[in-house]
Amino acid sequence: MPMTRAAQPATRAVHLVDRLDDVADAAAPVALRLPRRLGTPGRLAFAAAAAVATAAAAWGVVLLWTEETPGSWFSLLFSVLLGAMGLVPWFLLTGSIAAAREDRAAQAAWSAARDSATPTAGRVVARRTQLAEEGTPTSFELDVELADGSRLTAEWRLERASQRLLQTQVPGVGAVVRVWRAAGMPEAPVVVEVADPSVVG
């Protein structure tokens, strides 16, 4: 099953595929398949939880300054902590909405550029892998060198929180890639297709 991630100002997404078909039979990917973001129901539920957290934090601050405490330093310290607890969920929600907006823009840009995208061969010259606490990859970056000597960096990240990737699935240095770019559109997204090294046959 293809897995994808996007990154960078002009979105550069790694598509991990079972195998690379012959160029003659290849077609540009229909979508970037970016990580799934919270939908409207999820955002509303998160906002409701954030409102409850903010209200609880505000009530705690009121109690700190109206009830007896060890001193003003105590009230001030815990007021700052409670204030942060009340604000952090809103920052997270705002970041999620902004990321979703960027993803929609990237998808629209790819849809507009896809018909003029052509494949170019390349090879992985470096990679960087981000691991979760249990040791499974959550993302990886590939530095790719193309036939004309130019280089670009693309990134893969988990499409869904429940998704798991094995370290043996991360392409190594020297792996062959196919890069889809739209000529004359430097700001258009770029897709880097690379075969999953754990797939046999």
Whether the per-residue pLDDT at 18 is higher than 70: the answer is yes
Question: To 10 degrees, what angle do helices 40-66 and 72-113 make?
Answer: 170
Closest of 31, 195, 161, 40 to residue 109, by C-alpha: 31
pLDDT at 7 over 80: no
CA dihedral 40, 41, 46, 52 (to 10 degrees): 120
Q: To the nearest whole percent, how much of the chain has pLDDT over 70?
A: 91
Angle, CA of 133, 134 and 139, to the nearest 5°: 70
pLDDT score at 1: 45
Condensed to tens digits (0 to 9), the pLDDT of residues 123-140 reads 999 999 988 888 888 889
Q: How is residue 14 written in tokens?
A: 């790694």
Q: Find, among 114, 137, 136, 119, the residue nearest to 188 by Cα.
A: 114
DSSP state of 199: -
| Whole-number pLDDT of residue 8 | 42
* Amino acid 88: pLDDT: 93
In the predicted model, is pLDDT for residue 30 greater than 70?
Answer: yes
User: Tell me: the pLDDT tens digits for 137-190?
Assistant: 888 999 999 988 899 999 998 777 677 888 889 999 999 999 999 887 878 899
Nearest to 110 by CA among 3, 15, 33, 22: 33
With a threshold of 0.85, does the pTM exceed it?
no
